Structure 1
Amino acid sequence: MTADKRPRIILGITGATGMLYLPPFLRLLAAQQVEVHGIVSEAGRKVLQFELGVQPEHLAPVSRWFSHDDFFAPPASGSSLYDAMVVLPCSMGSLAAIARGYCANLLHRCADVTLKERRPLLLAVRETPLNRTHLSNMLAAHDAGATICPPMPSFYHSPQTLEDLARHFGARLCDLLGVSVDETEVKRWAQEG
């Protein structure tokens, strides 16, 4: 992220489970004044409503939403200066499209633009167990420049709630984006000695 301007990222939301990770991640970004623009797939909208009971427009601090079918939206072009993109959660269908360069919607197109412009693309892929196709697509996306970061909880920080788990993962995403996180918000691994 550049120090001379407010960081700006694209948040993609697909139809995978794992919406509980979104609010803590967005709060961490808001605390650092990161500007967030969002794209949600049709399935993502349904799963968000099912799991959190909210519409995307109620997720703060997303300041602007683009329709998933609007290929004329600014982030469809590399000339729009975004610092990075995060797909959270990332379904296996979206992973496949991104890994293979298939731009079926604006979310896929934005990921493709992010890769071609050599900007950070974080894919929080959500599925288990993984089959060979999933693994092959993860490797293809990695080889294209994406960072594969499944939302796997860690436990060394002694989480007491699901919010604690989700916030810790959100802080890891912020680390990968180069966004500073208030150290009181996350307990990091510390070795004695």
Structure 2
Amino acid sequence: MPVIAVVGGQWGDEGKGKVIDSLAEKAKVVARFSGGDNAGHTVINPYGEFRMHLVPSGIFYPEVTCIIGNGVVINPAVLLDEIDNLKKHGVDISHLTISDRAHLVMPYHTLLDGLEEERRGKGALGTTRRGIGPAFTDKVARMGIRTGDLSNKDLFHSKLSSILEFKNAILTKVYGHSPLLLEEIFEQYCR
């Protein structure tokens, strides 16, 4: 079975999304294997016009299995907005699978991303401030929260509590920011 991999070598904006859109109709599987919602492309088709950030473009073809893999960092709010918009336009999302090992972008990731950019001043990296880099940092450090952790509220609460203690120390001592609240984040991610 042939495999086509679309990989960008120019740090984004190469037109990968448009290439994938043109190939998706003939594919059996369209998988997003890496990255986060800092990237995106526009899809225009009979369903409407869509800004795609996380959901693979194959979603518009019901016979195509779409996968968000474990190499993707997922901001649940962005993903849910994208899914809601697709459903609103009559797109069937039942063929979308999300890896339970994909890491989540948490509120402290986006906050730390922005605070670090501000701290760098003129030497700022120019990130999107969406928390993608900090989420990948936690993944590599083996301290991230995965999508599968949400299925066990006790486990999720325990992991979040432990991680937030560490992140709040950084927020308060390094950046002089007020700490984030455990229960507030827990409730936000458990709804």
TM value normalised by structure 1: 0.31
Structure with the largest fraction of helix: 2
Structure with more relative contact order (C-alpha pairs < 8 Å, separation 6 or more): 1
TM value normalised by structure 2: 0.31
